[in-house]
Each structure stands twice: as C-alpha cells, then as structure tokens.
Structure 1
C-alpha cells in the first residue's frame, strides 16, 4: 500500500513533488537514440487492455513526437529519442509492497515513484495491468508527461480498487 501521495494536476503537473526533487540525481544525461526495451508478456486479458491503451496514447508528450522503441509492440510506446518510454503489462514492482513508497497523482491516476540515475520511473498504481513510464533525467523535476498520459491510462486501464 502506498501511503504518501501528492496531488499533481493541471498547472501543478509541471512541478515535481519535493520528495522527487530532493532525491533526483544530479548531472545525469538522457539516453539518446531510440532505445531497445524489453516487451512485457502479460496474460491475454491484460494484453488486450494494453493494446487499447496503445491506440489511445497521444502523438506528442512534453513536446516530443512519438518514436516507439524497438522491438515494435503494442505493449510499448515512446516519445523523443527514448526520453519517455511507456511499457504496459509489466509485473507488479516490488516497491509497491513498501509502505513507505512515494507516489504522486496526476490528473486522477496514481503513480509510484522510483528514482534512478538515468531519470525517474513511475508505475500506475490501483490499476491492472500495470503501466510503467520511464523518463530521462531532464524530467527529474517535471512530471508534466504523466498528466499528458493520464487521460489515456484512466480511459483504458481498469481500476483495481
């Protein structure tokens, strides 16, 4: 269960929570080039929801054009040169079992936050299948992309609560 939540929506989505701001790694660089990412292998029903999400995703996020990672799959999507990557149908992250895990809310979708040297990783909580969004370090202080993805996630990925 995730206890710590911050509400981020609309105008507030451009600001990252204090926890994320303080724990962001300094001096990290983005990935550069379209990445190769592992394609999840969820059960059939979850894969169907992921395909529906794939069709609903925006063409641009954070002013970055759609550039899906390799190998091409309806379970993955990307924007920019690997700056934002979405994977649908990922396994439940172990961090969700941590009662001290940090989460944010962006336009009605809750996301567990994990800081990495290469940039933050967010996993939608209270929804199945699990949707993971990784961002380059330039987004260490900006969760605007989550707000821009929230409508598609909320519309296509069922709440598990």
Structure 2
C-alpha cells in the first residue's frame, strides 16, 4: 500500500541457557562489576616463626585434592598458608592464634586422633558456619565449615585432614 511504511518483523533475540542460569550469570556479573566481590576464598596470613611457617607450607603442600567429596579450589593470595574445597568452601588456615575464648578446662572433640576445639554456640547452632580449631597440633589450624555442610557432619572433613595434620604438625595442647 502506498503511503504506509513497510514493517519487517524482527525475531526476538535468542538467549542462551535457562532463565535460572542467565540470572546466576547476571548476578555474578553484577557482583563483580558493582561490588568487586569474588568467590575465591581468602586466607589470612598470620605472624609465624620460621619453623611454624615451614610446617604450614609442608602441610598445605600435602593436603588432599578432595575433602568430604568437594574438589580443591584456588585461594587468595596465591601461596597462602591454607587451602579450600567446594563452593561454598571449606577453608583451612594454618598458623591461626589460640582462640581468645579458649580455657584450659574447655572440652575438645577428638576426631581421628586430632583434638578440635569448637565453641559451644557453634556446636548448638547447625544453621551457622563453624570454625573448629585443631589445638592438639601446632601451629594451630582452623577449618571454616560452611553451614551448608553441617548436616552432613563436620567429622568427615576433619577426619580426612587428620593424617596430614599429624604428619606435619607438632603436638599441641592436650584435650579434655
């Protein structure tokens, strides 16, 4: 028809992936662009003697590639005295200080020969992350156990770590 503009139908843009995966990608992109966040676990460095640093380095080099069924993942900074597995990540940090709330009469849980101190409130609340500290070995090692893994039990991961801790770390505090 004269005088009428010619309209061409343009097909809608194709989107790859499911709506859920597009949302995850968009959320991750927004997180990286807007907030500068990263899912790579960060290991805090602590002031250690040369002997303790050497023990932690040997431990980290000997840690397993999987922990409680989760694959080992990169950590920041590279070369940190720790390791991580899964997402959310179990995060092991070697060379942590003795917990400020630890008392010599406090109980600890012995799992596969290693005594782990966990605060009573963390033991009681399965919905929160837990941070058991291996006080029976030195330098001390802390493992962040995300709440997502709590119902499976903390024991499996800690038992899998025990052989490496016993091989590379000295005797620490005795457990009650």
TM-score where L is the length of structure 2 = 0.66
Aligned to 1:157: 169
Q: How far apart, in 2, do the equivalents of 1:59 and 1:156 lie?
A: 17
Of 101, 109, 127 in structure 2, the residue corresponding to residue 104 of structure 1 is 109
Kindly tell me: are residues 160 and 102 of structure 1, through their superposed partners in 2, closer, same or farther at Cα, counting changes over 3 Å? closer
Residue 24 of structure 1 corresponds to none
Identify the residue that residue 73 of structure 1 maps to in structure 2.
79
SS at match of 1:111: strand
SS at match of 1:146: helix
| Cα drift, residue 102 of structure 1 | 4.1
SS for the counterpart of 1:86 is strand
The question of 1:42 aligning with 2:48 is answered yes
Name the structure 1 match of 2:12: none
Q: Within the alignment, does 1:145 sit opposite 2:157 as a pair? A: yes
Distance 1:74 1:136 in 2: 20
Q: Distance in 2 between matches of 1:48 and 1:121?
A: 23
Judged with a 3 Å threshold, the aligned counterparts in structure 2 of structure 1 residues 95 and 134 are, in CA distance, closer, same or farther, namely: same
TM-score (norm: length of structure 1): 0.72
Distance between the aligned counterparts of 1:80 and 1:41, measured in 2? Answer: 27
Is structure 2 residue 146 aligned with structure 1 residue 136? yes
The Cα RMSD (Å) is 2.0
What are structure 2's unaligned runs of at least 5 residues?
1-37
The aligned length equals: 129
Tell me which structure has the larger Cα radius of gyration: 2
Mapped to 2, the partners of 1:91 and 1:159 lie a distance apart of 15
Contact 1:35 / 1:81 at 8 angstroms: preserved in 2?
no
Structure number with higher strand proportion? 1
